[in-house]
Amino acid sequence: MAGINPRARKVAATVVTAGVLASLAVACTGVSHSGSDSASAKPTGSTHDFTPGAAGSGDPYFPKMGNGGYDAEHYDLSLTYNAGTKAINATAKIRANALQDLSRFDLDLRDPLKVSKVTVDGRPATYEQTGGQELVITPGSGLPKGRQFTVEIAYAGTPKPIKDKALGVSGWIPRHDGVVTLSQPTGSATWYPVNESLRDKATYDFTVTVPKGLKVLANGQPAGEQTQSATTTFRWTNPEPTASELVMIAIGHFEVRDTRTKSGLRNITAVDPKAIATTGGQTVADAANQLNRVTGDDIEWEQKLYGGFPFSSVGGIIVLAPSVGYALECQTRPVYATGRAGGLPPAFMLAHELGHQWFGDTVTPARWSDIWLNEGFATYTEWLYTEQHGGKTAQQMFDAAYRSPTTVWKGKVAKPGRDHLFDPLTYLRAGMTLHQLRRTIGDTAFFQLVKDWPKTERNGNATTAQFIAFAQHYTKKNLRPLFQKWLYTAGKPAL
């Protein structure tokens, strides 16, 4: 994410009601019962005591988001958007694996969306929507550990964005002619049932039906479109594991470009014509071409820096969305939201969001407190871009940043606190941390490290501790004092 503006509204405090079923174990079918029904299920073959999956995934900053007991592998989302009422009518088919003998499990789905039917493996399941954000599903029979299952959920309503006092607006965001979804940190549950955890990445298929004339973009690649009398259905497929915070669809009137970068990577970009100022002779078509070209050029430069692109396509979207005021590194297709019609974002800003594809997207933090691993690298990508394109050196930018006022020095980079995820701390000071790492281990080691890290952790999650241990392999110097000073100590570090 880049360029946060404060946006207001108190987040509703939500309480997950565990419900009476929490204490009940549902007997499984198809697993042999041996002896008594002891309450303590042990993995010794007597697997007939099934327990509910946890109602949260335990992230200290968002304890209620995400769920336990299963691993979602694939989401097949099918939705129809009504441009008149702004409502959706949708079905989510989710393939998952049981990680325990599961009597019951939760998905995250925020009000006001209402579920009308749930099946598990084609059989009706009971369900309850509680606490404003939890969908509790009890299958007809328990799901043994290791079992792959498919849950299908029919739901409808008019999704509402999250407006968080500290973190801004996110989720399903209505726009002048449609919608864009920007779900960092926990906005996906505003529009589909999801295991909203950084650690549960999954692949996606999207089938989105909109009034004829509107277009749909999403992560990944288009997989066909079909026009009916009054509507068009767009299919997209996103074949690489994706954290839910990076899942995106956009609906609107877009000028789309679908080309290849110099190295052959598919490059799908789009501009919302209302986001482009047509003064000074610039046309919407010019802007559409330019976004596509700069995206391609940036990606070619970044592939030299960070290694091969981790996904099968790239791109970007510029949208008019005055309530947003930031850009987000949605996987394969960053979104640059602007408050009023203007020009294109500068190339270094595109480099920031595209740099995230390696740092944040293919390697995703294990916990939200590790977000400096995203934003530090994305900020440093801006500095490297400027340095290698005839601008100021990274050292000059470090020096300027080091003279920053006290706000940058408040807090700890690797422990920012929930309300400070997007503060200058996790951007500017995190970028400075990486510059100090570069100076300490030298350019050769540093530029090898930035290629190796995303390759080693591809499609995964990583912690700050893992990064520190990884970096230590590139030098004989002890890096602990450096990281202690820059990541874990509040106040301006001495040089």
Smallest separation (angstroms) from Zn ion to the CB of 3: 9
Q: Which of 2, 125 has the CB closer to Zn ion?
A: 2
The whole-angstrom separation of Cα 329 and Cα 345 is 14
Q: How far is the CB of 419 from Zn ion (least distance, A)?
A: 18
The tokens describing 115, both together, are: 């579920």
Select 75 or 358, whichever has its Cβ closest to Zn ion: 358
Going by the DSSP 8-state scheme, the letter that residue 406 receives in this structure is G
Q: What are phi and psi of 225, to 5 degrees?
A: -145, 155
Start-to-end CA distance of the chain, whole Å, equals: 28
Q: Which is nearer to Zn ion, 2 or 351 (CB)?
A: 2
Nearer to Zn ion, 2 or 350 (CB): 2
Phi and psi, residue 211, nearest 5°? -55, 145
Place of tokens 């509507």: 231
Residues that bind Zn ion (CB under 5 A): 1-2, 375, 378
Element (H, E) at 400: helix 394-402
In this structure, the chain runs to a length of 495
Q: How far is the CB of 25 from Zn ion (least distance, A)?
A: 44
Q: Which contacts of 396-400 are long-range, i.e. CB under 8 A and separated by 24 or more positions?
A: 398/432, 398/435
User: What residue type is 242 in one-letter code?
Assistant: T
Nearer to Zn ion, 137 or 354 (CB): 354
CB nearest Zn ion: which residue? 378
Least distance in angstroms from the C-beta of 2 to Zn ion: 5
Exposure string of 7-22, with b = 16+ CB inside 10 Å and e = fewer, is beeeeeeeebeebeee
Question: Are the CB atoms for 320 and 179 separated by under 8 Å?
Answer: no
Nearer to Zn ion, 49 or 423 (CB): 423
Minimum CB separation of residue 275 from Zn ion in Å reads 20
| Nearer CB in complex with Zn ion: 216/246 | 246
User: How far apart are alpha carbons 114 and 252 in whole angstroms?
Assistant: 25
Distance CA 382, CA 431 (A): 9
Rounded distance between C-alpha atoms, residue 15 and residue 132, angstroms: 8
